[in-house]
Structure 1
Amino acid sequence: MSNEASTFEAFKLNRQLLNAVADAGYVHPTPIQEKAIPLALAGHDVLGIAQTGTGKTAAYVLPVLMKVKYAQGDHARAVILAPTRELVMQIEEVVIQMSANTDLRMVALYGGLGPKTQIEILEKGVDIIVTTPGRFLDIYRKGKILTKEIKTMVLDEADKMMDMGFMPQIRSILEIIPRKRQNLLFSATFGERIDRFAAEFLEFPERVEVTPQATTAETIGQVKYLVPNIKTKLSLLAHLFKNEDISRAIIFTRSRRNAEEVFAFLSHRSYGEVRVIHANKGQNTRINSIEDFKGGDVRILVATDVASRGLDVTMVSHVVNFDVPLIYEDYVHRIGRTGRAENEGKAISFVNPAEEYHFDKIEEIIRMKVEEAEIPNEVDVTATPFEEKQAYARELDRLLQRDNPDYKGAFHEKKEYKKPNAHLEAQEKEKKRGNKNSKAKTNRNQLKTKHQKNKGK
């Protein structure tokens, strides 16, 4: 197939689609497109293992457009499910781009906005729905989606769907769409869960995998710094922006709090326009920040993992993992924002003492040791506050005890010495005191009665 499909012309696509591909500037199909498109066009169920940035969206969008072909009737004939609003919007862009020379109608359904406009588009008639699972079910339950014409079902980022707890919604959707359909399932990683899900969801699937699972692109240079605390992380970040040739960067944090702290820190320095996106930011704010970043108006985007999957942004020179991700596969998705389309990129990870455990696990998954760099002398390495040091020690003990229940823990807090079973002694004392009081009360009552008897004589 490789020699044959050196251009898109080798695929059985109609002229409208081939022209749209050419207009988009694509000449040679990527490996995932080369493997998945012919199988999907032949009507097979496909299980595609491919990371973001490999061209997987077009690998299923082109066959879907070819199958649906032209506008017909009022009800959708293809549904593409994705876990996040951001990813739905990016798939929508690809569908619009590739269907530019056709009369096909599509709608993107996602939360964060009222459903009124989306329902109005559905009522006018659509051929393709791109949607998050939750919004699809909400509108279906309002009686605004008829599913009987659906012939093709796509699930993108299936592993992320499972991470985010969407399985009940997906199963509900599978129950209400026709059983006789073509299924295309794409995932960035492959493991036992995806294998089980594929067995349930797909019929005799053709599996295509373009890179070994959870590996990082060769165009990404990776480096890690062992950093003692959050204050030193911020100092090191400032040093990088002063000394590295950073054209555009995404900085990933584990929490909204850290995202805001990094954003505030960078905003007070003249490193260029900075934006922050996380779950607490309004939908429109997030969309505008991403669009401005893609357009080149924003140099630095600070984000939690809400934005780490499916963000299609080219020309990102650096990805900084300010915090190490706790879902280890997310490391691959985060750093996949750089080194795209054969451009070279750099991924830099700041690893605190507790995060060393997690980073070791990440290195096992990506099957490589990431180069460790020394913190430059110009960076102010501050002493770790006592509370922060204690928190790292507790976290590390928790992780090691989870792996080995016999592990006793290296962390010992200095507390007031308490005798073993002290709580039992306290209870016993309380009991005795209670009995003593009861006895005193009884004696008082007896004296009172005796006094009354004497008085009556």
Structure 2
Amino acid sequence: MGATFEDFKFNRQLLNAIDDAGYTEPTPIQQKAIPPILNGQDVMGIAQTGTGKTAAYVLPIIMRLKYAQGENPRALIVAPTRELAMQIEENIKAYAKYTDLRVVTLYGGLGPKTQIEQVSKGVDIIVATPGRFMDIYLAGHLVMKQLQVLVLDEADKMMDMGFMPQINRILEVVPRKRQNLLFSATMSDKIHQLSANFLEFPTVIEVTPQATPAQTVEQRVYYVPNVKTKINLLKYLLDNTDEIKKLMLFCKTRTVAEDVYKFLIRKYNEQEVRVLHANKGQNTRINSMNAFKNDEVKILVSTDVAARGIDVNDVSHVINFDVPFVTEDYVHRIGRTGRALQLGEAITFCTPAEEYYLHKIEKLIRQTIPVFDVPVDVFIEQTAFEERQEQAREIDEQKRKEDPEFKGAFHEKKTLNQRKKFDAAKAKANPNSKAAKDRAKKPFRKKR
């Protein structure tokens, strides 16, 4: 018989809420993290999204706080994005439904007035993004003296987003004597450094080898020459894959996301597709997410802003329209599918300029992603001149990263063309010059 939530000696209110949520047995991260957290130890958890890590720290916090008390927060959970903060709040409300614990979420993108009003009514747990937390604290609306537990969730993403200064300021304003919990999907040097500053003799829990995609996700990659062929392949897959019930489609920039979204609207209609990126207003983003969660739309096109912390259980497919430049983001993207032990499929489209990043991803996940041939019915477009130039530039740049001495084929060709133009202009300006006589004698040759 496997472990159950009863083994953790949770009180009846918590066990009833867990039952209502439909969970019967704890996931590996919950089995390993809950006991030390309940004992008051500092914990560092290396776990990707979709492993149940939110419940691994939320359940012990609810058990520790038990009921509403005083006016000031006793637990603070810091998350990198508003989407993740809202997701954590949802989890807390579900697990604390039989208690009177008060939770307030603080994030940017809308005026702070309502959030300040909520805090002033009294709060037990705050979930916050770093910037908005500091804004409200510095404006004098938060007293942190009673804080007992501080959680940094998705710490690696916070490092990537440049939140280190805000994190350091938060550490300055909270009591020294407290329990610290840090969760990250990857174990980078920056995370090591942060954990050294933040945790005291932590219990380190790693539930899967670092940055390994969930075992329930089947991965594949298609090599394509250009963006137009990516669109043709996307159309083919959508027309010929019956199993696509719910799809998240990731793009590297807002512009690409908008273009793909417009293509999909022409193919389907606005009711079936939504787009999510940083240029969209807060309410639009929340509405798009809720519509996707509630099965009102089948396809969500997104940049990496939505790759983390969005807990939608029945995403059948993830398509990486572009290979992510931040290799860890691949793990988070494909972690949107295959959640809660369901099967999922992750498909990646890769151009010649993206192969460099794909190989970095394979190194990170310690797996070779199976390559599939582009189906014969997919029309392979010619690569436009501008796109070919852009790809050549990117490939040169990648080679330069690996070898600073590398000059690059693109660089050499460009120099040659510039010299040709320069000599032609010189000859035209002065027909009696040596350059003009040389050009008349022989075709331009590159000097050895």
- The alignment's TM-score, normalised by the length of structure 1, stands at 0.90
SS in 2 for 1:387: helix
* Shift in Å, 1:418: 6.0
SS in 2 for 1:348: strand
Measured against aligned partners, the alpha-carbon deviations of 1:274-302 in whole angstroms (never above 9, x if no partner) come to 00010000000000000000000100000
What are the within-5 Å matches in structure 2 for residues 406-425 of structure 1? 406-411=405-410, 412-413=413-414, 415-417=417-419
Question: Aligned partners of 2:114, 2:203: CA distance in 1, in Å?
Answer: 38
Partner of 2:52: 55
Partner of 2:292: 293
Partner of 2:149: 152
Partner of 2:354: 355
Question: Aligned partners of 1:8, 1:68: CA distance in 2, in Å?
Answer: 18
Measured against aligned partners, the alpha-carbon deviations of 1:53-94 in whole angstroms (never above 9, x if no partner) come to 000000000111111111111001110000000000000000
2:134 is the counterpart of 1:137: yes
Q: Is the 8 A contact 1:249 1:320 kept in 2?
A: yes
Q: Name the amino acid aligned to 1:206.
A: T
Q: Is the 8 A contact 1:12 1:41 kept in 2?
A: no
Q: Which of 238, 243, 247 is the aligned partner of 1:249?
A: 247
* Shift in Å, 1:257: 0.4
What are the within-5 Å matches in structure 2 for residues 154-233 of structure 1? 154-233=151-230
* Shift in Å, 1:352: 0.6
SS in 1 for 2:352: coil
Partner of 1:443: none
* Shift in Å, 1:406: 2.3
Question: Aligned partners of 2:419, 2:328: CA distance in 1, in Å?
Answer: 44
Question: Aligned partners of 1:29, 1:269: CA distance in 2, in Å?
Answer: 42
Partner of 1:263: 261
Question: Aligned partners of 2:80, 2:26: CA distance in 1, in Å?
Answer: 26
Partner of 1:455: none
Q: Unaligned 5+ residue runs, structure 1? A: 422-457
* Shift in Å, 1:270: 2.6
* Shift in Å, 1:380: 1.1
Question: Aligned partners of 2:215, 2:120: CA distance in 1, in Å?
Answer: 47
What are the within-5 Å matches in structure 2 for residues 384-403 of structure 1? 384-403=383-402
What are the within-5 Å matches in structure 2 for residues 111-126 of structure 1? 111-126=108-123
Q: Name the amino acid aligned to 1:268.
A: R
Question: Aligned partners of 1:419, 1:290: CA distance in 2, in Å?
Answer: 54
SS in 2 for 1:267: helix
Bigger drift between 131-140 and 408-417 goes to 408-417
* Shift in Å, 1:408: 2.7
Measured against aligned partners, the alpha-carbon deviations of 1:374-430 in whole angstroms (never above 9, x if no partner) come to 111111111000110011011000110111122231222362426999xxxxxxxxx
Partner of 1:426: none
Bigger drift between 188-197 and 269-278 goes to 269-278
Measured against aligned partners, the alpha-carbon deviations of 1:214-267 in whole angstroms (never above 9, x if no partner) come to 111111111101110101100100000000121010000000000000000010
- The alignment's TM-score, normalised by the length of structure 2, stands at 0.92
Q: Name the amino acid aligned to 1:395.
A: E
Partner of 2:76: 79
Measured against aligned partners, the alpha-carbon deviations of 1:304-342 in whole angstroms (never above 9, x if no partner) come to 000001110111111000011000000000000011111
* Shift in Å, 1:25: 0.8
Question: Aligned partners of 2:168, 2:377: CA distance in 1, in Å?
Answer: 55
Bigger drift between 369-378 and 83-92 goes to 369-378
Partner of 1:46: 43
Question: Aligned partners of 2:361, 2:97: CA distance in 1, in Å?
Answer: 41
Question: Aligned partners of 2:235, 2:421: CA distance in 1, in Å?
Answer: 50
Partner of 2:19: 22
2:111 is the counterpart of 1:110: no
Q: Name the amino acid aligned to 1:235.
A: N
Q: Give the length in aligned residue pairs.
A: 419
**Inter-CA distance 241–65: structure 2 relative to 1 (3 Å threshold):** same
Q: Name the amino acid aligned to 1:104.
A: L
Question: Aligned partners of 2:16, 2:360: CA distance in 1, in Å?
Answer: 45
Q: Name the amino acid aligned to 1:402.
A: K
Question: Aligned partners of 1:89, 1:340: CA distance in 2, in Å?
Answer: 19
Partner of 1:88: 85
Q: Is the 8 A contact 1:45 1:184 kept in 2?
A: yes
Question: Aligned partners of 2:281, 2:406: CA distance in 1, in Å?
Answer: 44
Decide which structure has the larger Cα Rg and report it. Answer: 1
Identity of aligned residues (%): 60
Partner of 2:273: 274
Partner of 2:28: 31
Question: Aligned partners of 2:355, 2:78: CA distance in 1, in Å?
Answer: 35
SS in 1 for 2:409: coil
Measured against aligned partners, the alpha-carbon deviations of 1:194-217 in whole angstroms (never above 9, x if no partner) come to 111111100000000100011111
Q: Name the amino acid aligned to 2:198.
A: F
Question: Aligned partners of 2:418, 2:39: CA distance in 1, in Å?
Answer: 73
What are the within-5 Å matches in structure 2 for residues 431-446 of structure 1? none
Measured against aligned partners, the alpha-carbon deviations of 1:123-147 in whole angstroms (never above 9, x if no partner) come to 1101110111111110011110001
Partner of 1:328: 327
Question: Aligned partners of 2:105, 2:170: CA distance in 1, in Å?
Answer: 16
Q: Name the amino acid aligned to 2:135.
A: D
* Shift in Å, 1:12: 2.4
Bigger drift between 16-25 and 406-415 goes to 406-415
- Aligned CA-pair RMSD: 1.5
Partner of 1:13: 10
